Structures are given as C-alpha cells and as structure tokens.
C-alpha cells in the first residue's frame, strides 16, 4: 500500500498574500504546517491569499502599488425643499 502524499503549505505560482490589517499586499511567513500565514509587516495572522487578479477584485484595489485606497468620508446630500418644509 503506497503512502499518502503529504500536503505542504508552500504555495507555488502567482499567489499573493493580502494582510487585512495592513490593507496591502505583503510578504508572509508560514505558521506551522497549515495554510496559515503571518504578515511580514505587522505580524498578525489575518492574511488572505490568492492570485493577484482575484485579491485585487475581491478587495477592490484601484491603484497598482498594492495598497487599498482609504474610504473617503461622504458628504450628506442637501435637503430637498419638501424636507425643509417638513422641518
């Protein structure tokens, strides 16, 4: 009976790692023998991985430097004349 193949946590190919805390694409270090990775910048284990295309699409990147743009504060829309009349 042949031995079962061993699963490794070394991902090969065009895989990138995105730290959800730093909100950018980072280098990582594997944690144990599982598919868990530690961020090389902040040290947390809150890291997602996938192809660059899927990570950029899921986390909605707009720029090419690997950082997610910060959310801008939205201004309140002006009240309509009907709403002003009710107040």
Residues 6+ apart with CB under 8 A from 55: 16, 18, 25, 48, 49, 61
Q: Residue 77 domain-assigned? A: no
pLDDT at 38: 94
H or E, element range at 47: strand 47-51
Residue 24 within a domain = yes
pLDDT for 59 equals: 87
Name the average pLDDT for the chain: 77
- The model's pTM is 0.59
Q: Give me the half-sphere count of Cα atoms (radius 13 Å) on the Cβ side of residue 8.
A: 3
Position 29 in a domain: yes
Domain residue limits at 36: 12-64
CATH of the domain at 30: 2.20.28
| Mean pLDDT (whole number) for 4-9 | 67
Residue 17 lies in a domain: yes
49 located within any domain: yes
pLDDT tens digit string along 26-52? 999 999 888 899 999 999 999 999 988
In-domain check, residue 72 = no
Residues 6 or more apart in contact with residue 39 via CB below 8 angstroms: 17, 19, 21, 22, 26, 28, 45, 46, 47
> Looking at the 3D structure of the chain, how many domains does it have?
1
pLDDT of residue 73: 47
For residue 56, tell me if it sits in a domain.
yes
């Amino acid at each position: 009976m042949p031995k079962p193949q061993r699963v490794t946590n070394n991902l090969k190919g065009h895989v990138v790692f995105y730290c959800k805390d730093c909100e950018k694409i980072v280098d990582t270090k594997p944690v144990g023998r599982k598919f868990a990775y530690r961020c090389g910048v902040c040290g947390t284990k809150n890291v997602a991985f996938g192809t660059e295309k899927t990570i950029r699409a899921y986390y909605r990147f707009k720029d090419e430097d690997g950082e997610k743009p910060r959310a801008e504060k939205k201004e309140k829309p002006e009240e309509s004349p009907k709403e002003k009349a009710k107040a």
